[in-house]
Amino acid sequence: MTPPIDILALSPLPDTLAPSLAGRYATHIGLDDAPRDRVRALVGGGAMQVDAALLARLPALEIVAIHGVGHDGVDQAALAARGIRLAITAGTLTEDVADLAIGLWLAVERRIVANDRAVRGGGWDVPLARRATGRRIGIFGLGAIGRAIAARAAPFAADLIYTARSPKDVPWRFVADLTTLAAESDVLFLAAAAGRETHHAVDAAVLAALGRQGVLVNVARGALVDQDALIAALAEGRIAGAGLDVFADEPTVPAALHRDDVVLSPHQGSATVAARSAMAAMVVANLDAHFAGDRPPGLID
């Protein structure tokens, strides 16, 4: 009988994924207890860090399978140098992340969280909220998630504009740079991938362009935003509010963001039963396809 293939997770796997892997692979949690010379797959979430030093400790590694779509912590050049594949769970969480983005935005505009807190504390008289319909909506990054956000936001929008690497075949208006996008938006959604090009892309200048009536919504990565600049802009009233699912140093969230004009979420974009089940199934499908000699459905070329 052929022994099961050894796979490694650097941290505990979610309950939706662990049982599926346990039945088909020899799963090891943590590098110290793994048979490093036999590990052929590395499995982890979108925040997993994979660099050349780690790869050097795993001489038999063939594939990195991400439980998510973010892979900014993976050194793809180092993988390519070894011929190691990278696969993600593409398409499994798009709708849920887009739903949360709209929910965060509406919660900020209509003060839903702050009003809930007021009522639970025995209050009733609260400040007026802001109308969502008729706002100018900008989206930074028009991949699958950006497009899904745009489709949901379009019925609200007086104008819907976006910034991406290049114009897309979509009915929305393209703007070439982020600062211009912010200046022409009342609401700025962030849906771009993290990386060197987008690190702190939303800085003090972009926030100033967004302006006092502007709202920032981030469901991408905390690294896209200069968090100190955001805190200063909120404290000084230079933007109207923010809806944040991601942060610079998760799970740490600065107390300065605990404000009525900010709605906070603990990186829950994909956290639905449907999405997590689909993500787990695709991790397994990626591994099964690879070890069967086929192309994984979520392969990143």
Tell me which DSSP letter residue 2 carries: P
Residue 85 is a catalytic residue: no
Taking a C-beta distance cutoff of 8 angstroms, is the pair 17, 280 a contact? Answer: yes
The number of beta carbons lying within 10 Å of the beta carbon of residue 188 is 30
Q: Which of 28, 221, 276, 290 is catalytic?
A: 221
Q: Which of 188, 223, 205 is nearest to 108 (CA)?
A: 188
Question: DSSP labels for 50-72?
Answer: B-HHHHHT-TT--EEEEESS--T
Strand order across the beta sheet in which 26-29 lies:
26-29, 6-9, 41-45, 63-67, 85-87
Residue 250 is a catalytic residue: yes
Q: Which of 67, 58, 113, 105 is nearest to 89 (CA)?
A: 67
Tokens representing 221?
């990565």
**Cα(257)–Cα(267) distance, integer angstroms:** 15
Q: Which of 143, 131, 26, 127 is nearest to 88 (CA)?
A: 143
Q: Which of 267, 276, 290, 295 is catalytic?
A: 267
**DSSP reduced 3-state for 22:** helix
Residue 221 is a catalytic residue: yes
Query: How many residues in the chain?
Result: 301
Q: Which residues pair with 28 in a beta bridge?
A: 8
**Cα(68)–Cα(204) distance, integer angstroms:** 30
Q: Which of 250, 276, 290, 295 is catalytic?
A: 250
Active-site amino acid positions: 221, 250, 267
